[in-house]
Amino acid sequence: MKKKHWYQFLWIASAVYLLLGFVNILFAWLGMLCFLIPVLIAVLKGDKAYCNHYCGRGQLFELLGNRHGLSRKKEIPSFLRSRWFRYGFLIFFFIMFFNMLFSTYMVFAGAAGLKQVVTLIWTIRLPWNWAYSAQGIAPWAAQFAFGFYSVMLTSTVLGFATMLLYKPRSWCVYCPMGTATQLICKAKNHGKRTGKIKGGS
């Protein structure tokens, strides 16, 4: 039996993160690690070690889809894996991310009030006031937490849906972080080859 590595249990961290958002929205800030670590690895090391080893969300989908049999394990439609969709989704995702940052700035500047809602799939506004108590926290920090948790919950819901319909880790095909880090790696390693592989495909 293969020895398990510590990072093969990161799905637990991913599941706990989602649950913590129901308890106290400020835990959403921890999700920044899922944005910063893959980008840092791609920029500094020039690889996708985060996707390949440390992505707790991918592990969670694999666990639910494979071990618990929730996935139909069908082929993903060709449009979902096409380049225009992957890059288009990346652009859309980042536009919505910067929109969320702008909302945070508006609260910071005092031009807007704190909205205690989590927005699912960029459209469905869910009241989330039970997970927030205003004591000692700057409103903008809370607004960012609500916005960031919306991003994380939305991507989990989309990933869960494609896990059910297609192969367990179908989310990896159009994950904006995966697409972005692959682009960074391509830019960084353009023209480089290791030369280790004999008869590579």
Q: Provide the binding-site residues for another protein, judged by CB under 8 A.
A: 42, 46-49, 51-53, 58, 62, 73, 75-76, 81, 86, 166-173, 178-179, 181-182, 184-186, 188-189, 192-194, 197-201
How far the first Cα of the chain sits from its last, in Å, is 29
The per-residue DSSP string of 108-161 comes to HTTSS----EEEETTTEEEE-GGG---TT--HHHHHHHHHHHHHHHHHHHHHHH
Provide φ and ψ at 72, rounded to 5°. Answer: -75, -15
- Distance between CA 43 and CA 45 in Å, rounded? 6
For the bound state, the minimum distance from the C-beta of residue 8 to another protein, rounded and expressed in Å, comes to: 9
Kindly state the smallest distance separating residue 109's Cβ from another protein, in Å.
Answer: 38
Shortest Cβ 33–another protein spacing (Å): 19
Instruction: Give whichever of 89 and 108 is closer to another protein, judged by the CB atom.
Output: 89
Q: How far is the CB of 72 from another protein (least distance, A)?
A: 13
Query: Closer CB to another protein, residue 93 or residue 149?
Result: 93
